Structures are given as structure tokens and as C-alpha cells.
Amino acid sequence: MSKIKKIFNKFIFIYALCLAPCILNAATVVATVNGVPITDTDITARTKLMAAQGQNYTDNRKRALNNIIDDNVKLKYAENFKVTPSDDDVKKEIKAMSERGLNLSALSATEMEMAKYAVRANIAWQIIIARTIVPTISVSKEEIATEIADLEREQGLPVEVTFIRLVNIPESVAKNLTTPKDCDAAVKMAEKLGGAPQKLTAPQYELSSDIRARMAGLSELKWSSRIDGTVLLVCKKKKMKEFEKLDEIIEQNAVFKKAMFAGDQQLKQLRRKAVIVINDKRYSL
């Protein structure tokens, strides 16, 4: 063997040794979306983010892939509207997430990049919804009433509630309760029937969950149904001074919920149009 050939073969051998670790450590491409590869490393990073958010499911890796695909679709669609959240926008949102109690400090550099990618896609999608969907949304009085009842039930509104509670009341007495003209009349009616009415005033959000649930959707000066020997009547609700624009906030919240639902439907349509190739059968959609 010539000296030149020996040197060449030695070079090839050394090159192969150097290249081998790169090949062994190369991330496997699990799928592509619109030509963009998604690796198993990407999926692992996303599962770590999901775990930090309290999302722990047996199929977390498959969910992670779906989330990454959604992010890609959102950002691709946002390009049509020249919507590109800046790095500062992403940093501010991540900081806000941390202030809300989400612990991202344990994430590695790769995992933090995945978090930034997810946040960027979410910001872009929120902007798209605000620009293209919210202006088309309207809500009826019935939908606003439902929203109010849901808020009353789940967390309570910042309103001061005056109400009457009758406890240990027989069914026969509850059936004789009629609609009073005001709160004082309700008290006298209950006393006349032998009850011991309790008149209370408190912020709704400070009431117990079972009381809030009973009040949800209950009109003023209307007795509730009898449950566990107890009957309630809401005398009046008064907005707290710092929440004078509560009606406007509730309407905005109802519009936002409806817009988010419409956004989810649009995202499903965009996904159908996207070119998604799954290379690993374990992640089949």
C-alpha cells in the first residue's frame, strides 16, 4: 500500500471516529410540519414545560407533539398578518408567568427555548384572534347572564350581597314562601311562618362555595329551592366602588370566551391544511 493511501485511510478513520458521536447523539426527527422538523429532543423539552405547568398525562409526549404542531401552524398563519412577537414581548410574558407562580428555573437552555417558542406562538395567536375574530363576535343578554352565573358559582363577583338565609325550615313552610316586595317584607314573612331568618351582607367572593352555587343565577327577591332544609333569598347586589365597570368587564369576558372557541375551530381547519408527516408510528395522530 502506497504511503499516500495509508495517510488517506488514516485520515478517513480519524474523521469517522470524530463523526460517530455526532451521529449517535443526533436527535431523531419524529415528524415534520410544513417542512419544519420536530425531533424527539423537542418533544422532551416540551414535556418538561408541560410538567412545569402541572400537565402530567400518560400520553404527554403525544400531547407535546400536538402542541408543537399547533405552535408551528399558529406562527405560520400569523406571518400572513405580519404578526411577529418580539423577543421583549416573549421575555415579558415569561416573567409574568413566573410571577403568577410558574416555576421555570429548573428548565435547561433547550427547554427554555421551547418555552419561548410556545409563548411566542401563543402571543401571536392572541393577536390574530383580537384582530380577526373578536370584532365579529357579539353576545346576547342570555350569554352574559350565563357568564355572570358561572363567575358567581366559580369564584364570586366583587359585589356586596345582602341576603336572607332560613335554616332548618320544613318543606311545608318553604312551599308557603311567596315573592316579597322587599327584604324587610321577606323577613316578616319568614317570621310569621315560624322561621328565624338570618339577614347577612358580605362581598360575594367571600361567601362559601355552596352559598355562591345556590345564588348563581338567582334573581333578586326570589326564594331559592329548599336544599338540606335551607332556603336563600337575595335582597340586593351592590357593585363595590373599585369595580364600577364590572358589567363591561363581564361582557368582555363573555366575548373573549366565544372568540377563543371560534379560534380553536379555526386552528383545527388550519391544521387540516398543514402538511404534517409523522415518521414515528407511536405518535400517529
Query: Domain of 234?
Result: 159-239
Burial of 175 (0-12, 13-18, 19+ CB in 10 A): exposed
User: Average pLDDT, whole number, for the chain?
Assistant: 88
Taking the whole predicted model, whether its pTM rises above 0.85 is answered as no
Q: Please, which residues have CB within 8 angstroms of residue 157's CB and are 6 or more apart in sequence?
A: 148, 151, 204, 205, 237, 246
What are the backbone angles phi and psi of residue 236, rounded to the nearest 5°? -160, 160
pLDDT at 9: 46
My answer on whether 176 and 232 are in the same domain is: yes
Pairwise CA distance, residues 46 & 231, whole Å: 50
pLDDT at 10: 44
pLDDT at 26: 52
| Residue 147 belongs to some domain of the structure | no
Q: How far is CA 138 from CA 78, 114, 220, 259, in A?
A: 24, 36, 27, 9
| Residue 22 belongs to some domain of the structure | yes
CATH assignment of the domain containing 187 = 3.10.50
My answer on whether 130 and 270 are in the same domain is: yes
The count of structural domains within the chain is: 2
| Residue 107 belongs to some domain of the structure | yes
Splitting the chain (285 residues) into consecutive groups of 10 residues, what average pLDDT does each group show?
45 41 59 95 94 90 96 97 96 93 89 96 97 96 90 89 92 91 93 89 93 91 93 92 82 94 97 94 80
My answer on whether 86 and 177 are in the same domain is: no
| Residue 92 belongs to some domain of the structure | yes
